[in-house]
Each structure stands twice: as structure tokens, then as C-alpha cells.
Amino acid sequence: MPASRRYGLAWHAHRDNVAGKTIDDFVMMTASMAMPKGGGMLIDVKDVSGRVFFPATTPAFAGQIEPDGYGGFSEALHYRSVHGYDLFLGVPVLHDTVRARGGLGMVNAFGHRDDTYMCPANPRVRIETIALLQELAALAPGAKIFLPFFRYPYRRAPRTTAQGIPKHQAYCFCEHCREGFSGRFEYPLIWERTTREPQAFHDWIAWRCETIEVFAREIVKQVPAEIVLEVDLCPKRHYFDGVFIDNGHNIHALAEIFRTFVVHVFDRSDPFAPVEHASDMASDLMTVALGRLRSKAKVHLLLWGITNEATLERAYAYADAAEADIRFFVLDAEMVEALARRVG
């Protein structure tokens, strides 16, 4: 059994169906439910459509600031000091539709620019993102900075299509990536070669991981806060290729850079999330993956898809079985009271 059972709430600003929400929607819920002291609050203070919910002045984000979020941001800091919460402030790193469309988007193997994800090899992306994170660290001393979407996009349907990255979803082939790749491996990055030669494919996948790691080290070195990485380890969805190929995440290398991880425990195949902690192969793989990660770093869980008492029951049972330091529940608003009754 775990040494401690700490719970938290997560506000999922990066979900498509909350596009109209502001950060106040989440904070009002936590105020009314009295989470136990020592729990966690995980709030995205920026979303994937580019909105920034804290009073940033970094020039590159000037058109993306949402002053409606300032109140919620300040309240979250207040609750942290009053209730002793661990506060995690989420900033999606590469998923930003405003800036991707502004010329920073990844480029696929056809040469078409993506309008959602930015390229981690682009110096502007790195410099401007680090400036924003530094500003956040200064505005919220003591809070942890949580980095979701620090990865390459994964859009293939789970278990239904042939495995392998299709050309239109092969990122990134921008000028920075092609130049960096040829400098690193001493031959040009050409899609047809990566599909024909196993070594070229491996080099390209390794290059993507290394690009993420270089940017990650810059962030950890230059931003004065505890930095926490999101990892999407769902074993069913990633059964064949894994996060190494799909996301550009070399877990072993990243565990040398980050001390704390937040791992998704959710699933887009049947049965619906969260996966029950049962004896099926997917659950076993998840247990092994979590164990390996935990041998190097602190692990928190992020439990999704909780929309009724039955799924809350499954999520709660899974959370209790997994040895994680904090279990964050991503709840629909109507489920907050039900969780409060259990936790309280």
C-alpha cells in the first residue's frame, strides 16, 4: 500500500469542451469543497487555444492574455497558502493554436505547416516559452510549473489503423529540424529514407526525443521553479509504438531531467477510462511503466473520464491501488461533491 494518500483536483483547461470557460470556474469549486490539507490543485493557467490566464507581460504573448483569469489565478495562490495545497500551474508547452498559426507550427513530411503544435527545435519557440515560464515563476513563488503537451502530436486512432507514422502526421520537417538533424547525423533528413531504412527511422525518432530533451534542460536550468512533466502513458492506446515513437518521449532520459511526473491514467479504447486495476495486460503494463518511472522520480496520477458515480468508483479504486504521491481527479463539476464525501 502507498505510504500516503494525497488527492487533488485538476482543472482541464486544455479539453476542447471547456473552450468557453475561464479559470474562475475551477477555483469556485475548490472553495466550496474544502479539499483536505496537503492535497493538490492542478490548474492550467494557459490553454491550448493560446489563452493566458495570468498577468503576463512577455511581449510575444501580448494578444493572448485573458484578464478574466486573473482573479482565479490569485485565488489559487491564496488557497495554496491557506490550506497548504501543492499547487501545480499548467502551461501547455507546444500546443498553442495562436502561435502555431503565427508561423511557429511544426511542418509535416509533405512540407505542410501544422496549425496546432509548435516546433521544439525553433529557437523562437524556446526563447519565448522560457520567458513566459520565468514570468510565471516570479508571479507564483512556491508553486510548481506543470508542462502538458511537451511532445509531438499523436492523432492516429487507437488499435484500428496500421501502426507506423503516416506521412501527413510525421513531424517535424521544418528548416530547424532538417538543419539540426543533418548536423547531428551527417546525412539529410528525408522522409522516404526514414521509411526505407530502419537505422534512418531510429535516428529520426531519437532526434525528436533529443530535441525535446534539449528544450527541457533549458527550461529546468533557466526557470526558477520545480518543473513537472506530463507523460501520456496510456498502455492500451500506446500498446504498439509507445511514447518513444509517438510522443518523442524517452522516459529514461526525461527521468534524469525532471524530478516529478504527472502520468495520465485514461484510455480512449474499450472499456472506457479509467482502466480498472485488473489483471489484464494493459493494467500490468501500466504498473510496470509506473514502477520504472517511480524508481527515478516522483509520480502523480491524473485520472480522467470521471462523469458518474461508477467511473468515480473505478478511478478511486485505481488510485488507491497505484503507488502515486498525489492522485489528481479530472472531474465534471457535478462529481466534485461526490469526491469530497470520499476524501473528507
Binding site for Zn ion (CB under 5 A): 119, 121, 172, 174, 176-177
Please, which residue, 118 or 299, has the CB nearer to Zn ion?
118
CB of 172 to Zn ion, least distance (A): 3
**Is the distance from CB of 310 to CB of 317 less than 8 angstroms?**
no
How far is 210 from 204, CA to CA, in rounded Å?
10
CB of 106 to Zn ion, least distance (A): 6
Grid cell at residue 117? 503544435
Please, which residue, 124 or 156, has the CB nearer to Zn ion?
124
How far is 289 from 157, CA to CA, in rounded Å?
22
CB of 252 to Zn ion, least distance (A): 24
Q: Cell 525518432 maps to which residue?
A: 205
Please, which residue, 143 or 177, has the CB nearer to Zn ion?
177
Three-state secondary-structure class, residue 106: strand
Please, which residue, 100 or 172, has the CB nearer to Zn ion?
172
Q: Which residues contact 198 (CB under 8 A, 6 or more apart)?
A: none
Q: Cell 516559452 maps to which residue?
A: 129
Three-state secondary-structure class, residue 78: helix
Select from 96, 90, 21 the least CA-distant residue to 54. 90
Three-state secondary-structure class, residue 24: helix
CB of 264 to Zn ion, least distance (A): 25
Please, which residue, 204 or 328, has the CB nearer to Zn ion?
204
Please, which residue, 117 or 329, has the CB nearer to Zn ion?
117
DSSP state of 187: S
CB of 154 to Zn ion, least distance (A): 16
CB of 108 to Zn ion, least distance (A): 10
